[in-house]
Amino acid sequence: MGRGKQQQTYDAIVIGSGISGGWAAKELCDAGLKTLVLERGRDVPHGAYPTATMNPWDFPMRDQLSAEEKAANPIADRCYAYNESTKHFFVRDADHPYVQEKPFDWIRGYQTGGKSLIWARQTQRWSRFEFEAPKRDGFAVPWPIGYEDLAPWYGHVEKFVGISGNKDGLEQLPDSEVLPPWELNCVEKHIQSQVRERYADRHVIIGRCAHLTEPQAIHLEQGRGKCQARHLCYRGCPYGAYFSSNSSTLPWAARTGNLTVKNHAVVESIMYDEHSARASGVRVIDAEDGSSTEYFSKAIFVNAGALNSNLILLNSTSSRFPQGLGNDSGLLGRYIAFHNYRGNILADYPGFEDRYYKGRRPTTAFMPSFKNVFRRDSDFDRGYMVAFSAARRGWNRALPENVRFGESLKSELAGPGGWQVFMMMQGETIPKYENHVRLSETKVDPWGIPQLVISVDYDDNDEAMIQDFLVEGATMLEQAGCVNIRPYDDGRAPGLDIHQMGGVRMGSDPKTSLCNRWNQLHACKNVYVTDGACMTSVGNQNPSLTFMALTARAADHAVQQLKAGAF
């Protein structure tokens, strides 16, 4: 091996530094592997969060976006977390173009930590029902693993990350290893009691979230501190109180001495060696000067984010794999699925006018799925979680006709308004062959890489699920005493859920899947895909915890394979 190539050679390469990439780096470095993490965006060291402690009046636009900013970024602007204080963590629309064959809002964060700086931090385990669903209900392909395979890895991840919540004892939402929970407020507790009284199969719980309510020794060793209930999380947390790659896994990996991070490193493709029948490394384009570099390793983890992971594999062609790396089945990029967030409900609650709450709690009330859980019992496939929260109206509320200015206005706004409840769905969509991504034959991005064509849409099953939620949710709120109930379908395009999954799905049969039970490509065993791209189906839970657990499990397998000389 020449000296130049030797300097560019590592035991393992991880593509992407987000939630799953950070976990791959941590586990591989902990095992003693010299690991290179390739991040296409700039470096953001933990603590380098420029707006984290700014006051609203410190922002020129008072944390709003200018008309010019909104007009230039209509896709990013649709994301709930995109504003003046967070825009530096989002990809601007023009910076990485893609082709919307059907409307699709692709929300991305290119920097060290990726979207782990701006995620919503909700963390729930899958149950056995999610793993069993494709086979039981006849869609997608059977999962090659079950809950029992992932359960110990859920625990492994949860203890390190720090998850607040209760042990709720629900079969459809298995208990996590938890820190003390946040508390439901009085209206949420009232709704909880009314639901418990009327429905044996519906359970309102406090959301489990990746926030340190009571840091343990492992968290203090990471240098992280207690959550301050500021709920300014999308700016980056200087306390390290919520989990991110920046505050947790990457610094942990770095202190082993085994980690190298290359920023501004846009992965163009994975190189395949015909002689060894293994991937040999990756080809990288420097985002700043356009130069090309090749890095080499024995194992490669693909964690670029579901759609970008599909893009990289599709672009990794060779005489052996003319349709993309590992794509013997012809299914690479197919069966993309996501979460259905279109159903929403607003309502007012008359009462508890003498009650309030303190702090800005970083989670909400949740109701685990209650449709099609133990059997198919509805006229649509799969189910949905419900999230809701209650809060007192603020200064921008509607005011009485006789209150417009002066002392009466000051007096009215000195106290909070009445209680309002917001409820939303998080529904499972069914992976379909037609929902896919592919490479454009005519358009390239600023680095000369083919743009991704995204062709993903809702179907009749999704529409039926939305209508079911709107009826069920409104009924529950009415029974709890809410008034002025306003159900609505916000009509959002796919993608805005930010929970894209599939395209490189796991399965036992290489003819119908891309990855095996260890997240290895069937046809190229030293390449592991452990982000959302590997998911066979999507469940109804927030997916990040499952990505992290799959990654830790796969990294353990890769270490064993490397030690055994398998590649």
The pLDDT score that the predictor gives to residue 408 is 77
pLDDT of 20 over the 60 cut: yes
| Shared-domain flag, residues 355 and 471 | yes
Asked, for residue 285, whether it belongs to a domain, the answer is yes
Q: Which two tokens stand for residue 373?
A: 């859980």
Under a CB-based contact definition with an 8 Å cutoff, are residues 100 and 391 in contact? Answer: no
The pLDDT score that the predictor gives to residue 367 is 98
Rounded Cα–Cα distance for residues 108 and 114 (Å) = 8
| Shared-domain flag, residues 534 and 414 | no
Rounded Cα–Cα distance for residues 62 and 486 (Å) = 30
Asked, for residue 61, whether it belongs to a domain, the answer is no
Write down the H helix ranges in 64-108: 67-72, 74-77
pLDDT of 60 over the 60 cut: yes
| Shared-domain flag, residues 445 and 535 | yes
Under a CB-based contact definition with an 8 Å cutoff, are residues 395 and 412 in contact? Answer: no
| Shared-domain flag, residues 463 and 521 | no
What is the three-class DSSP state of 390? strand
DSSP state letters, 242-284: B--IIIIIHHHHHTTT-EEEESSEEEEEEEEETTTTEEEEEEE
| Shared-domain flag, residues 404 and 437 | no
Asked, for residue 88, whether it belongs to a domain, the answer is no
The CA-atom distances, in angstroms, between 472 and each of 274, 376, 428, 469, 534 are 56, 17, 16, 5, 32
Contacts 24+ apart (CB under 8 A), 412-417: 416/356, 416/392, 417/392, 417/393
Mean pLDDT for 506-521 is 98
| Shared-domain flag, residues 346 and 309 | no
Asked, for residue 129, whether it belongs to a domain, the answer is no
pLDDT of 3 over the 80 cut: no
Q: How would residue 2 be classed by pLDDT, with cut points 50, 70 and 90?
A: low
What is the three-class DSSP state of 28? helix
Residue 338 CB-density burial (10 A; 0-12 exposed, 13-18 middle, 19+ buried): buried
Last residue of a domain, one of 466, 489, 512: 489
The pLDDT score that the predictor gives to residue 48 is 97
| Shared-domain flag, residues 364 and 446 | no
Read off the pTM.
Answer: 0.97
> In 3D, which of 155, 486, 513, 475 has the Cα closest to residue 344?
486
The pLDDT score that the predictor gives to residue 415 is 81
> In 3D, which of 436, 430, 457, 450 has the Cα closest to residue 331?
436
pLDDT of 96 over the 60 cut: yes
Q: Which two tokens stand for residue 178?
A: 């938890």
How many domains does one find in the chain?
2
| Shared-domain flag, residues 327 and 344 | no
Q: Which two tokens stand for residue 190?
A: 């009232």
The pLDDT score that the predictor gives to residue 410 is 79
**Residue where the block lists tokens 């062709």:** 455
Q: Which two tokens stand for residue 430?
A: 């069914």
| Shared-domain flag, residues 284 and 355 | no
Considering the chain, what percentage of its residues have pLDDT values greater than 70? 99
**Residue where the block lists tokens 């990294």:** 555
| Shared-domain flag, residues 396 and 355 | yes
CA atoms within 13 Å, Cβ hemisphere of 552:
23
Asked, for residue 57, whether it belongs to a domain, the answer is no
Q: How does pLDDT run across 359-411, given as a tens digit for each residue?
A: 899 999 999 999 999 999 999 999 999 999 999 998 777 777 777 778 878 77
The CA-atom distances, in angstroms, between 26 and each of 18, 254, 404, 434, 525 are 12, 8, 57, 36, 21
Q: How would residue 472 be classed by pLDDT, with cut points 50, 70 and 90?
A: very high
List the CATH number of the domain containing 118.
3.50.50.60
Q: How does pLDDT run across 166-200, given as a tens digit for each residue?
A: 999 999 999 999 999 999 999 999 999 999 999 99
Asked, for residue 66, whether it belongs to a domain, the answer is no
Range of the domain at 113: 3-52+97-122+242-338+433-456+500-563
Least confident of 229-243, 411-425, 434-448: 411-425
| Shared-domain flag, residues 260 and 303 | yes
Under a CB-based contact definition with an 8 Å cutoff, are residues 20 and 548 in contact? Answer: yes
Question: Which residues on adjacent β-strands are paired with residue 269?
Answer: 283
Asked, for residue 526, whether it belongs to a domain, the answer is yes
> In 3D, which of 282, 313, 319, 340 has the Cα closest to residue 504?
313
> In 3D, which of 449, 436, 253 has the Cα closest to residue 330?
436
Q: What are phi and psi of 368, to 5 degrees?
A: -55, 160
Q: Which residue has the higher pLDDT, 416 or 270?
A: 270
pLDDT of 24 over the 90 cut: yes
> In 3D, which of 425, 82, 371 has the Cα closest to residue 234?
82
The pLDDT score that the predictor gives to residue 1 is 56
The torsion region of residue 493 among left (phi > 0), alpha (psi -120 to 50) and beta comes to beta
The pLDDT score that the predictor gives to residue 6 is 77
Under a CB-based contact definition with an 8 Å cutoff, are residues 90 and 109 in contact? Answer: yes
Mean pLDDT for 304-311 is 98
| Shared-domain flag, residues 393 and 445 | no
Q: How would residue 88 be classed by pLDDT, with cut points 50, 70 and 90?
A: very high
Asked, for residue 378, whether it belongs to a domain, the answer is yes
Render the burial of 266-290: b for 16+ CB within 10 Å, e for the rest.
bbbbbbbeeeeebbbbbbbbebeee
What is the three-class DSSP state of 531? coil
Q: How would residue 7 be classed by pLDDT, with cut points 50, 70 and 90?
A: confident
